[in-house]
Amino acid sequence: MKIRLIMMLALMFIGLNGIAQDKAKSKIVKFKTSAICGECKERIEESLNYTKGIVYAELDIDTKVIEVKYKTKNLNAEKVKYLVSQVGYDAGETPRNEEAFNKLPKCCKSEGFCKRPGE
Amino acid sequence: MHQKIRIGVLLLTFFVFHNLTYAQEHNEIEIQGKVVTIKKGIEEPIPYVKVKCASSDHVAITKEDGSFQIHLHELPDTLMIKAVGYELMAFVVEQEGKDVVVNLKDGSMLKGVTVFGRNLGKHIDLKDPFNVEKIGQDELRKAACCNLSESFETNASVDVNLTDAVSGAKKIQMLGLDGVYTQLQWENIPLIRGLSTSYGLSFTPGTWIESIQITKGTGSVVNGYESIAGMINLEVKKPSESERLYVNLYGNKFTRGEINVHGAQRINDKWSTMTFLHASNQFNETDVNKDGFKDMPVGFLGAAMHRWDFRGKNMESRFGIKGTFADKDGGQLGYNSSSDPTFPKWGASFKTTHLEAFGKMGIFMKNRPKGSLGIVNQLKYHQMNNVFGNSTYSGTQKKWYSNWIYSDIIGNTNHTYKTGASFILDDYSQTYNDSTFLKTEIVPGAFFEYTYKHLEKFTLVAGVRADYHNLFGTLFAPRLHAKWNPSKKSALRFSVGRGYRVPNPYSDFNSLMASSRTWIVDPNIVPEDGISSGVTFTQKFLIKDEVSTFSVDYFYTHFLNQLVTDLDVSPNEVHIYNTTGTSFSHAVQAELALKLTKTFEFRIAAKYYDVKAEFGGELQQKAFVPKYRVLLNSGYKTRNKKWEFDLTANWVGKKRLPSTASNPIKHARPDESVDYWVLNSQITYRMKKFSFYIGAENMLNVIQQNAIISADDPFGPYFDATQLWAPISGVNIYAGLHFDIKHKKK
């Protein structure tokens, strides 16, 4: 009983692990973004991680570099950058989507972030 | 009726103060803050940096420890910070009264702000003079079920045990000492005190909790004379920060179902409100260990809370109401409180009504820029009717708690103090079988706490409080806490202090009624009195840029006077009396928390408890406290954060058990338990708005066989359902979901 249960659980872990990180035909791309804070990191990662074809997206806020692993069947590097730009951030050479940028909270926009004198 | 009037008075006080502070006009707001840079998880202050206010000419230069003070005209305002080698940074100050922490990035990087209070699973702050362990959301979600008693499942400092084989209630232990010696609060309002001590942990649903802070040993004098073994403070979810709507569903194999719904509304910049609803029900009777008794009582528990937050210019306030209602039946299969009296079954029923109104206020002083006044008020009504076989217990507690705290600096911010006064009115009415006990406690008290800081490296907190108890006279509690950082990554802490507790034996040890033991209680019960001292060392280190922690602590608690529940005199008696005889606890704990990669965490903790007390003229190991315990916890999160796997293992060593040697052989049990492992695991899958979890508890199916002594003759002289040292129901499988709609950030 005990042993069976442990084995079942172990199998479950391994099995789910396999689903979670499908190693078949995927590539890693790294590029710099215009993210500035923890909120930005959360927004970009969340948006990408829930997109089909993305294995994982991880942003280092110190270097602003994002590491994205994607499935070549669904995406390519350009499409990944496009996805980031649609959240409202510059992605490598791809400029941000201004509309999405304007909707960001003020802590994510360096300009709107400052309250200027007399404003 | 009585209650309503009191609430009225409370609200009145609130509005009077509200108007008062609004009549004052501020010209200048002093903001205090710190400029730091975070390198590999370690905070380093940046001295001699220019901090300029955007709307005026005010300029401040940071001191050696990175701190600065600046005056602003109105909020929000922007601080411009420029330091050589760092990016120019603009920082918006929106709120007064909070210390500003500005995190500068190296010149090669762009500006950024570190928002403090990140959602860390579990961590120990190196700066706090008190050794406070914080359990955050990540950690709390590792145990999806159900209420506060499960929230400590992955924490090494707090042990959780079942109280008896009937009520399904759990109790905590800290430093090897019973949970009654740990002071429980929520947002610095008393949470579990008086009659709610025995079953109160189940009244706070887990999903209401934002975070938990655990302090070993005595806490701050500001919060009262209690907390001998430790102090636990909960932060409940705040209206200004929580989800618009949150729903949680839970169900397990033993037909227990739970639902939690809460939501926050932000009315405007100043006002916000939040409503919490909780219902849990045990539908069917289960009896895994086949002793004819329900493993868990069948029945319902409902809880609700409605709270308001107000954030003004010079004052903040939080107030609201809370209520819990529980009705459960335990005992033999087929028993419920309305069953036929001609075929008696041994049953236990638990009916509780708990109502509470609370109000907190913080007022910033106009003429003293660092001065602030905090006022906490609480009104509580707690009523419970419990039946254990032929024994009945009922108790009512009415309570008013008030605490006024003024804090300010002496000269500069290196010297700060908190002083104030508190008032407690507790009115108890308890009935056990035919005896009635009435008691009114009136306890006014005063306290003073001084904090000295030297260069962030050394902090000393010296506090003293005196309370006058109408029944027991003066209770004097001095306490001292000190912290020293030998390096930036380590902290050494020392604490010593005295604490008291006024016992209510019939409710504190209510679960002992689940036996045929006759209660022999000394009529002259006096407060328990203990001195606790401890040393803690914490070292942080880096493994591949990820922060890992090693900590070790030793606490010694010595009771000058303790209430003893002596189960060893005879198997059918419980003797409860005060003793000034030797009673102490030595507790050693070592914990290593490793973050091996970005996705994998591992924690191991080992504990040694030597808890002894002199009873019957003999120094004996405290019953039901294991000498050794081990906790293992590992967590793995996929890099896309969609999957989360957790595995927790608890090893519980041998425990001494009260002697049952004089019983007939059939009803005698060994004097020592065997050691066992409890293994829990949970898997969570996250989606944007939903997350699903499935988990298993007690996976090794550990069951204490024949846990209830004389289960076949519950009205007989040998019946005892309190000799519990291991789980009584086997593997539990549960599943559920979280759903949330967040507020949009501005």
User: Is pLDDT of B96 > 70?
Assistant: no
Contacts of B115 in chain A (CB under 8 A): 37-39
Residue pair B606/B629 in contact (Cβ under 8 Å)? The answer is yes
Of B739, B733, B741, the closest CA to residue B691 belongs to: B739
Angle, CA of A77, A83 and A64, to the nearest 5° = 80
Task: Report cis status (omega within 30 of 0) of the bond before A105.
Answer: no
pLDDT value for B142: 81
Average pLDDT, chain B: 86
Identify the weakest region by mean pLDDT among A26-40, B1-15, B304-318, B550-564.
Answer: B1-15
Would you say residue B201 has pLDDT above 60? Answer: yes
* Neighbouring residues of B577: CB distance < 8 A, sequence distance ≥ 6: B521, B522, B525, B563, B564, B566
Which residues, in sequence order, are CB contacts of B117 under 8 Å at separation 6+? none
List the structure tokens of B710. 């004389």
Indicate the DSSP class of residue B115.
P
Does A49 contact B699 at a Cβ distance shorter than 8 Å?
no
Residue B4's H or E segment, with its range, is helix B2-23
Q: What is the pLDDT of residue B338?
A: 67
- Say whether pLDDT at A20 is over 60: no
List of E strands, B596-675: 600-615, 618-621, 628-637, 643-652
Give the closest residue to B276 by CA, choosing from B147, B446, B469.
B147
Q: Using pLDDT thresholds of 50, 70 and 90, give the confidence band for residue B384.
A: very high
Please check the confidence at residue B189 and state whether its pLDDT lies above 60: yes
Tens digits of residue pLDDT in B681-716: 999 999 888 999 999 999 999 999 889 999 989 999
Q: How many whole angstroms separate alpha carbon A57 and alpha carbon A79?
A: 13
Summarised one tens digit per residue, pLDDT across range B125-178 is: 677 778 788 888 888 888 777 888 888 988 899 999 888 889 988 999 999 999
Under the banding of pLDDT at 50, 70 and 90, the label for residue B234 is very high
Is residue B107 predicted with pLDDT exceeding 60? no
- CA–CA distance, B611 with B655 (Å, rounded to integer): 11
* Measured distance CA(A43)–CA(A41) in Å, rounded: 5
- Which residues are bridge partners to B440 per DSSP? B427
Helices (H), B413-499: none
In chain B, % of residues over pLDDT 70? 87
Arithmetic mean of pLDDT, B548-561: 95
Candidate from A13, A69, A116 with C-beta closest to B54: A116
Measured distance CA(B362)–CA(B373) in Å, rounded? 6
Report whether B573 contacts B553 (CB < 8 A). no
Question: What pLDDT is stored for residue B136 in this prediction?
Answer: 87
Cα–Cα distance for residue pair B640/B638, rounded to 1 Å: 5
Q: Is the pLDDT of residue B634 over 50?
A: yes
Q: Has residue A73 got a pLDDT over 50?
A: yes
Higher pLDDT, B120 or B429: B429
Per residue in B347-383, pLDDT (tens digit) is 999 999 999 999 999 998 888 888 899 999 999 999 9
Helices vs. strands in chain B: H and E counts, helices first: 3, 42
Domain B122-235, what fold?
A: Ferric Hydroxamate Uptake Protein; Chain A, domain 1 (2.170.130)
How confident is the model at residue B699, as a pLDDT? Answer: 95
Q: Which residues of A touch B78 (CB under 8 A)?
A: 114-116
Q: Looking at domain B27-103, which of 2.40.10.350, 3.30.70.3040, 2.60.40.4130, 1.10.3720.10 is its CATH number? A: 2.60.40.4130
Q: Which residue of B has its CA nearest to A54?
A: B640
Q: To which residue do tokens 């319902």 refer?
A: B300
Could you give the percent of chain B with pLDDT greater than 90? 61
- Tens digit of pLDDT for each residue in B39-63? 655 667 777 777 777 666 677 777 7
- pLDDT for B34 equals 77
Q: How near does any CA of chain B get to the CA of A21, in Å?
A: 8
Cα-based angle B491, B493, B496 (whole degrees, multiple of 5): 175
Kindly determine whether residue A106 and residue B92, on different chains, have CB atoms separated by under 8 Å. Answer: yes
Contact (CB<8Å) A20/B642: yes
pLDDT, position B586: 96
**Best of A33, A36, A60 to disrupt the B interface by mutation (most B CBs within 10 Å)?**
A36
- The CATH T-level fold of domain B236-259+268-741 is Maltoporin; Chain A (2.40.170)
Of A39, A69, A114, the CB nearest to B78: A114
Model confidence band, residue B104 (pLDDT cutoffs 50, 70, 90): low
Domain ranges of chain B: 27-103, 122-235, 236-259+268-741
Closest by CA position to B246, among listed B267, B270, B272, B274:
B274
- Cβ-based contacts of A62 with chain B (< 8 Å): 105, 109
Q: Are B732 and B153 in contact (CB under 8 A)?
A: no
Q: List Cα–Cα distances, B374 to B17, B48, B318, B370, B420, in angstroms.
A: 12, 34, 11, 13, 9
* A59: Cα separation from own chain's centroid: 7
Least confident interval from A38-42, A81-85, B56-60, B346-350: B56-60
* Residue B611 pLDDT > 60: yes
Name the CA dihedral angle for A95, A96, A102, A106, rounded to a multiple of 10 degrees.
-110
Q: Tell me how far CA of residue B463 lies from CA of B223, B419, B446, B466, B477, in angstroms.
A: 11, 9, 11, 10, 8
Pick from A16, A58, A110: CB nearest B111 = A110
pLDDT in tens, B292-326: 999 999 999 999 999 999 998 888 999 999 999 99
pLDDT bucket at B645, cuts 50 / 70 / 90? very high
Confidence of residue B15 (pLDDT cuts 50, 70, 90): very low
DSSP B688: S
**Quick check: B124 pLDDT over 80?**
no
The CATH architecture assigned to A25-110 reads 2-Layer Sandwich (3.30)
Query: What mean pLDDT is predicted for residues B377-401?
Result: 95
Summary mean pLDDT of chain A:
78
pLDDT level of residue B432 (50, 70, 90 thresholds):
very high
CB contact under 8 A, A115 and B78: yes
How far is CA B167 from each of CA B353, B382, B469, B512, rounded to the nearest angstrom? Answer: 16, 18, 33, 11
Q: Which of A2, A9, A49 sits opposite B681 (nearest CB)?
A: A9
pLDDT at B68 (0 to 100): 77
Select from B645, B482, B651 the least CA-distant residue to B130.
B482
